[in-house]
């Protein structure tokens, strides 16, 4: 399906310095629902439209990779009913959207742990979406699912040990190569919705020099215009990477 809502990019968005990789902490679903007198799960459901519209916006802007935080290693602490809903919801989302994203040339990948708590049916849907879209090159939609930044670093260190590296051989490159998606550049921009000012264990290693943009918009209300506004804000920042101004 082509973009159902083609929208011109804002004039103040510089097409020559679009962030190559954008991370999004999709937060505020529960509050969105509660404010409407709905169960929290309705907020997760409403987040689907936000995700799809944001993906179309990222495609239109020329973003090469979009990593979205869908379920954290800490989200297992939620009530069992909500966790079950989120597992089924994410499976359903892939079933409903993988062909549409595939048609747009999106490669779907996942970051996170495939542990015993993730139902087998969810894992097989994830594998199916990844394999269907593996050769696509327009944009990578990387879904952080059962993802934790600390878990990712622990997993990388385990692989270092398994690979038999000596202390002398351990450096940033050796660790980076063992992260979940070493082929993706570090995110230039990370957006968090819902007025929370924290990372909540998202992309700890990769975010070292990301520009952070926070917005009060609750995730289910987020649309590509909000992504464009975040990109424009990013373009006004001066990135120094520890150096001094030129």
Tell me the closest approach of the beta carbon of residue 117 to ligand IPE, in angstroms: 14
Instruction: Kindly tell me which of 197 and 241 has the beta carbon lying closer to ligand IPE.
Output: 197
Pair 95, 125: CB distance under 8 Å = yes
Name the site residues for ligand IPE (rule: CB under 6 A): 25-31, 69-72, 75, 86, 194, 196, 198, 200, 219
Q: Is 27 a catalytic residue?
A: yes
Pick the catalytic residue: 3, 75, 186, 221?
A: 75
Instruction: Kindly tell me which of 47 and 57 has the beta carbon lying closer to ligand IPE.
Output: 47
Tell me the closest approach of the beta carbon of residue 203 to ligand IPE, in angstroms: 11
Q: Is 62 left (phi over 0), alpha (psi -120 to 50) or beta?
A: left
Instruction: Kindly tell me which of 41 and 140 has the beta carbon lying closer to ligand IPE.
Output: 41
Name the site residues for Mg ion (rule: CB under 5 A): 27
For residues 161, 166, 172 and 176, what is the CA-based torsion angle, rounded to 10 degrees? -30
With CB atoms as reference, the residue minimizing the distance to ligand IPE is 30
Instruction: Kindly tell me which of 19 and 47 has the beta carbon lying closer to Mg ion.
Output: 47
Q: How far apart are the first and last CA of the chain?
A: 46
Give how far the C-alpha of residue 118 lies from the chain's centroid of Cα atoms, to the nearest Å.
18
Choose the one of Mg ion, ligand IPE, none that binds residue 29, judging by a C-beta under 5 to 8 angstroms depending on kind. ligand IPE
Pick the catalytic residue: 3, 14, 27, 127?
A: 27
Tell me the closest approach of the beta carbon of residue 196 to ligand IPE, in angstroms: 6
Q: Is 146 a catalytic residue?
A: no
Catalytic residues: 27, 75
């Amino acid at each position: 399906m082509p973009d159902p809502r083609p929208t011109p990019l804002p004039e103040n968005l510089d097409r020559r310095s679009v962030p190559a990789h954008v991370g999004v902490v999709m937060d505020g679903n529960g509050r969105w629902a509660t404010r409407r007198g709905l169960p929290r799960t309705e907020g997760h459901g409403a987040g689907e439209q936000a995700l799809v519209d944001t993906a179309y916006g990222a495609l239109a802007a020329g973003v090469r990779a979009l990593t979205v935080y869908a379920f954290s290693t800490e989200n297992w602490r939620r009530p069992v009913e909500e966790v079950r809903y989120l597992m089924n919801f994410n499976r359903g989302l892939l079933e409903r959207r993988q062909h549409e994203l595939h048609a747009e040339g999106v490669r779907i990948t996942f970051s996170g742990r495939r542990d015993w708590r993730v139902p087998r049916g969810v894992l097989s849907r994830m594998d199916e979406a990844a394999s269907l879209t593996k050769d696509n090159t327009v944009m990578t939609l990387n879904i952080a699912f059962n993802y934790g930044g600390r878990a990712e670093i622990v997993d990388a260190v385990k692989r270092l040990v398994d690979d038999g590296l000596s202390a002398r051989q351990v450096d940033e490159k050796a660790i980076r190569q063992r992260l979940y998606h070493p082929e993706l550049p570090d995110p230039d921009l990370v957006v968090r919705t819902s007025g929370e000012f924290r990372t909540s264990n998202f992309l700890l290693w990769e975010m070292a020099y990301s520009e952070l943009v926070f917005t009060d918009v609750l995730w289910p209300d987020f649309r590509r215009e909000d992504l464009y506004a975040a990109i424009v804000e990013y373009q006004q920042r001066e990135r120094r990477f520890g150096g001094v101004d030129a």
